[in-house]
């Protein structure tokens, strides 16, 4: 059974893909789907109850919560995907170089990774933002700097497992170039595990982006972002708890969905996983 067949035969994986696709579609279509301007202020209509005009009510400035949630998904999801893409690219390039060539290349890259990993990522992100200044661009740069070393080390260990395979050794003996071996054998073999690694940690990136925005270090007002919405709602938590529940539940659902989808993707790429063993036995 192919990876796609195993993935689509898993009901949890299908549900996760539907939710992720729906969130991305809503984020892309926010300018069309949002009923109101997310930055439009109407203090006379603050904390309005749920209605046809305002399906999720309004915030302390009278702004439509549904519209801000839709536009907030663009910042939260797309910035997280952008950050993950760059980080996993850097980690893949350095990890493949270290795992394939070994020797002094591996030593140099791994010693740099050891230095980077000796600092807690959250502390490093805060330090870098303190130097560069607040803002989403600097938050993305800080996150990439703090995370690339971990991905490099993980991908290196994956590449080493495949580097000793017989078909890799045969390619080297046959005189194939290193570029050919990496692009035609190493990369296709490790791509599935790299995708699983990125998907499983996607929830962590979303939480990190939202947490920094909650602290006021990421997205700045009046731009809508889920973490920033939590920050704005904390002052009215006791009187209007729904203001924090709406973005909080959204973050919880999206992070949980990415985590579940990562597990399903891992199962799909690993037919020997216990869940598929049980299915095979039952069949």
Tens digit of each residue's pLDDT (9 = 90 or more) over 95-112 = 999 988 888 998 999 999
Residue 160: count of CB within 10 angstroms of its CB: 15
Residue 30: count of CB within 10 angstroms of its CB: 19
Spell out the domain ranges in the chain. Answer: 3-282
CB 226 within 8 A of CB 76: yes
Q: Which CATH superfamily is 3-282 part of?
A: MetI-like (1.10.3720.10)
Query: Any long-range contacts for 126-130 (C-beta under 8 Å, 24+ apart)?
Result: 126/217, 129/212, 129/217
Contacting residues for 243 by C-beta, under 8 A, at least 6 apart: 59, 60, 65, 229, 232, 233, 236, 237
Q: Residue 185: its pLDDT value, please?
A: 85
Q: Residue 276: its pLDDT value, please?
A: 45
Q: Residue 272: its pLDDT value, please?
A: 62
Q: Residue 8: its pLDDT value, please?
A: 83
Q: Extract the residue ranges of the chain whose pLDDT is less than 50.
A: 274-283
Q: Residue 40: its pLDDT value, please?
A: 86
């Amino acid at each position: 059974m192919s990876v796609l067949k195993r993935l689509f035969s898993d009901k949890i994986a299908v549900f996760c893909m539907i939710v992720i696709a729906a969130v991305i579609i809503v984020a892309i279509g926010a300018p069309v789907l949002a009923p109101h301007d997310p930055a439009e202020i109407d203090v006379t209509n603050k904390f309005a109850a749920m209605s046809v005009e305002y399906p999720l009510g309004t915030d302390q400035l009278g702004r439509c919560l549904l519209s801000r949630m839709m536009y907030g998904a663009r910042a939260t999801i797309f910035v997280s995907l952008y950050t993950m893409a760059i980080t996993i690219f850097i980690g893949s390039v350095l990890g493949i170089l270290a795992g394939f060539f070994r020797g002094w290349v591996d030593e140099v890259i791994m010693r740099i990774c050891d230095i980077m990993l000796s600092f807690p990522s959250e502390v490093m992100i805060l330090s870098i933002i303190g130097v560069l200044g607040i803002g989403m661009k600097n938050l993305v740069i800080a996150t990439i700097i703090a995370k690339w070393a971990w991905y490099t080390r993980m991908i290196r260990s994956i590449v080493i497992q495949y580097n000793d395979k017989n078909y890799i050794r045969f390619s080297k003996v046959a005189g194939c170039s290193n570029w050919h071996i990496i692009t035609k054998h190493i990369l296709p073999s490790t791509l599935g595990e790299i995708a699983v690694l990125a998907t499983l940690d996607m929830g962590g990136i979303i939480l990190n982006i939202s947490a920094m925005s909650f602290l006021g270090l990421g997205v700045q007002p009046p731009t809508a972002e889920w973490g920033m919405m939590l920050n704005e709602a904390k002052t009215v938590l006791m009187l209007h708890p729904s203001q924090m529940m709406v973005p909080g539940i959204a973050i919880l659902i999206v992070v949980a969905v990415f985590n579940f989808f990562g597990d399903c993707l891992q199962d799909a790429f690993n037919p020997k996983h216990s869940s598929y063993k049980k299915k095979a036995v039952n069949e």
